[in-house]
Chain A
Amino acid sequence: MIEVYVGMVLIALTGMYCMVWKKNMIKKVIGLGIFTNSIHLLLIAIGFRTNGIPPILTQVNADYFAMQAVDPLPQALVLTSIVIQLSVTALALGIVTLAYRHLKTLDTERMNRLRG
């Protein structure tokens, strides 16, 4: 499991770096997406169980289901979180299109300078 956590931390740091350091608005939004997905990875990793099976009951696995199925709660949380992430990204892209239409630039530094 260590490699999953280390990977999650690396992805999260990449996302944060993109969000803070990049000057292009679209790149900032992409950084936001990367950061969120790393947290989804973390949530799925929390529900991990050795030799786990998906939390879906069938006629075959009914007798050993509760002993082996992975944690279903983080998966539900990830579903909720994905939709929230999607809405935030949609709104961000709407603001970016608006900014491009008005200011004719996607560079945040030039945007600051334009309005003085």
Chain B
Amino acid sequence: MDVIIRNVTKGLLPFIIVFGVYILLHGHLTPGGSFPGGVIIASGVALLAISFGLRKAERLVKEETAHVVEGIVALFLVLVVLFESFARDMLTPTGMAFGLWSAQHVLLLNVVGGVMVSMALILIVFLLMKE
């Protein structure tokens, strides 16, 4: 890719990832949640892969790593979601209303689900880009 896209990517990539993390963390307060946040993070990495080539992007996240992290995170997700069934009384809100800490389990699940979505999408994009 040409020099403009490379330089723009270099400048924008940290902001894209920070924006994705922001959306993940505020999923229970503002529009968004696990899926949009994960997609934003993954699209940042995909932009890196398009402009600098697959080699460079694989230095950030390896395919095998993405696959294994995805599996572990999915396992954790299963544990938490099934745990909700038994812990209904423990999940009543405790923190300040409209604060970041107001719905702990939704926050946790949003972040974990976002990691899962971003890893899966990074993996799929890398695989489909292979020659």
Contact = CB atoms under 8 A, between A and B. Distances in A.
Check whether chain A touches chain B (CB < 8 angstroms). yes
Interface of A: 54, 56-59, 79, 82-83, 86, 90, 93-94, 97
A83 B117 contact: yes
A97 B124 CA distance: 13
B80 interface: no
8 contacts: A56-B29, A56-B31, A59-B98, A82-B35, A90-B124, A93-B128, A94-B128, A97-B128
A36 B46 CA distance: 24
Interface in B18-46: 29-31, 33, 35
Contact of B31 (A54, A83, A97): A54
Given A57-B98, A83-B117, 11 more contacts: A54-B31, A56-B29, A56-B30, A56-B31, A59-B98, A82-B35, A83-B35, A86-B121, A90-B124, A90-B128, A97-B128
Contacts of B91: none
B127 interface: yes
A59 B124 CA distance: 41
Contacts of A79: 33, 35
B25 to A, nearest CB: 16
Nearest to B124: A90
A82 B117 CA distance: 12
Contacts of B98: 57-59
